Structure 1
């Protein structure tokens, strides 16, 4: 099984040590790396970390987090699925020009009692070159919502995305009828 030392060595080869907040490896080989919120070139760092850690023998699930400041609000904000979905409409797939909600990429959304938001989503194709960027944008938009404690984004390709998943409004705009 992979060791914490092996993972730390790989992480330090990818990102400057001053940006590493923690590296954890559990008994199943699942790896969690937390980086500073101001880590430079974060998109490339995320891709390279996933790639390099994935080469290690015995690695399970790889999670790379960024630390963040929890925004305290003086008001009691009621988090709802609708509020989160509206915020996610600000994340537009740059290749297609449609937001992730109307594109049908959001499969499941849950606002948990501790104000953590869970999203299960997909991409239009498993090889989408914008995957890391879109996942990060979804996380960032959720974390912008006052009162959100954390965001957990799960990527799945089951079921595979199809144009049938596009919202009715955008099907009309795109001429998919």
Structure 2
């Protein structure tokens, strides 16, 4: 099983320690790393961390978070799944030109009682070069919503994405009907 020391060693090789807020490793080998919101070159750091941590023996789920502030003015806002989905329509897959909702990348949305938003999503292919960018954009859009405490994004490829998941409106626009 992976140890916290092994994880810390890799994290410290990739990112300056002053940007690391916490590192947690549970008994299943799941790792959670929380970085400062101002971590430089965050996209590159996220990709490298995920890649290098994934090489460790006994590693489980890898979660890399960024420090967040709760948006002001949302204390009395009743968050809904529809609100989240509507906001996620602002995240456009740059390679395809369709938002992640109409493209069918969003599998599940849950608003938890503490106003943390959970999203289970996929990419069009496991090797999508825009994966980290899209995941970060989804997280950022959710966190723009007043009242959202935090966002948890789970990436899955089960079931794999197919063009059948594209919304009927966009299938028509793309000539898939």
TM superposition score normalised by structure 2: 0.96
- SS, match of residue 173 in structure 2: helix
Q: How many Å apart are 1:75 and its aligned residue?
A: 5.7
8 Å CA contact 2:69–2:149 kept in 1: the answer is: no
2:65 match? 65
Alignment of 1:51-62 (within 5 A): 51-62=51-62
Where in structure 2 are there 5+ consecutive unaligned residues?
none
- SS, match of residue 117 in structure 2: strand
**Aligned equivalents of 1:90, 1:37: Cα separation in 2:** 22
**Aligned equivalents of 2:129, 2:43: Cα separation in 1:** 12
Q: How many Å apart are 1:72 and its aligned residue?
A: 3.0
Alignment of 1:100-139 (within 5 A): 100-139=100-139
Where in structure 1 are there 5+ consecutive unaligned residues?
none
2:46 match? 46
- The root-mean-square deviation of aligned C-alpha atoms, in Å, is 1.1
8 Å CA contact 2:106–2:120 kept in 1: the answer is: yes
Q: How many Å apart are 1:101 and its aligned residue?
A: 0.3
8 Å CA contact 2:79–2:147 kept in 1: the answer is: yes
8 Å CA contact 2:75–2:147 kept in 1: the answer is: no
TM superposition score normalised by structure 1: 0.96
